[in-house]
Amino acid sequence: MSFAESFEKITSGGKNTIEILVVFLAVVLIFSSGMQSCVGKKLDTLAKHGVSSIKYGELEVKLRETEQKLNATQQALQTVANSPVNPAASPNTPKTLPQDATPAPGIAPALQFIPEQGAFWVYVGQYQNGHFLKRPNFNVTAPPTTGQELVAWTDTYRRNEKPVQRGSEWFLGKITGVVKEGESLKVLTVDTIEVGNIWISAIGARPASE
């Protein structure tokens, strides 16, 4: 049975618009973040040209409602990631050093579905006396340089800004997503903060596997 036949069979009994939107959203969320971003842009383009819905068999997708539901889901994921119940990652939790935690296993896969929007900040590691004190988050043995392309060795939070100091405490930026293990990025700027902690601003690049 083809994908189209299977999909139509699954949704043929769904007469309620909300149920149809939930099915569509579930399909969107199995795509990669890049594909999801592309789908979102296509829907937005169609909506701007006056297209209010797409009908396939008995499935009718309301573009504006779908976009709003997708945005709400992505916002909810960011809210959970930045929640005080996750103190190691919360931007409101003070740190003694400007260092980032590894994304929690339960939240990292979900954050991968938040499409990248512009530049972001990521933590590379602590570099002192000519070496990293622990394995860095990216494939480097020395501080990266502007324009360099890096590959993530582990899942790493994307944040909206670099750490800021208030008094003697450090506060990290808001989590906006995650750089997946094996994903590539391009360095825009490099900032060494407080005893060798290296943060970089970056934009996404083509995956290393491509």
Answer yes or no: is pLDDT of 191 > 70. yes
Same-domain status, 16 and 66: yes
User: Looking at the domain assignment, is residue 99 inside a domain?
Assistant: no
Same-domain status, 75 and 124: no
Same-domain status, 69 and 123: no
Tokens at residue 75, please? 């916002």
User: Looking at the domain assignment, is residue 48 inside a domain?
Assistant: yes
pLDDT at 161 (0 to 100): 95
* Among 19, 17, 4, CA closest to 57: 4
User: Looking at the domain assignment, is residue 87 inside a domain?
Assistant: no
Residues with Cβ < 8 Å from 8, sequence gap 6 or more? 56, 57, 58, 59
Same-domain status, 62 and 128: no
User: Looking at the domain assignment, is residue 86 inside a domain?
Assistant: no
Could you list the residue range(s) of the whole structural domain that residue 128 is in?
A: 108-204
Same-domain status, 76 and 125: no
**130 to each of 89, 133, 141, 143, 196, how far by Cα in Å?**
28, 9, 9, 9, 10
User: Looking at the domain assignment, is residue 94 inside a domain?
Assistant: no
pLDDT at 117 (0 to 100): 74
User: Looking at the domain assignment, is residue 122 inside a domain?
Assistant: yes
| Beta-carbon count within 10 A of 15 CB | 9
Secondary structure element (H or E) that encloses residue 42, with its range:
helix 33-48
Q: Look at residue 169 and give its three-state secondary structure.
A: strand
CA 127 to mean position of chain CA atoms: 26
- Domain boundary residue, one of 26, 46, 81: 81
User: Looking at the domain assignment, is residue 54 inside a domain?
Assistant: yes
Could you tell me the pTM of the whole model? 0.61
**pLDDT higher for 43 or 126?**
126
Same-domain status, 26 and 74: yes
Answer yes or no: is pLDDT of 24 > 60. no
- Residue whose tokens read 């690049």: 205
Same-domain status, 74 and 115: no
Same-domain status, 138 and 68: no
- Domain boundary residue, one of 62, 81, 100: 81
Cα–Cα dist 122/202, whole Å: 8
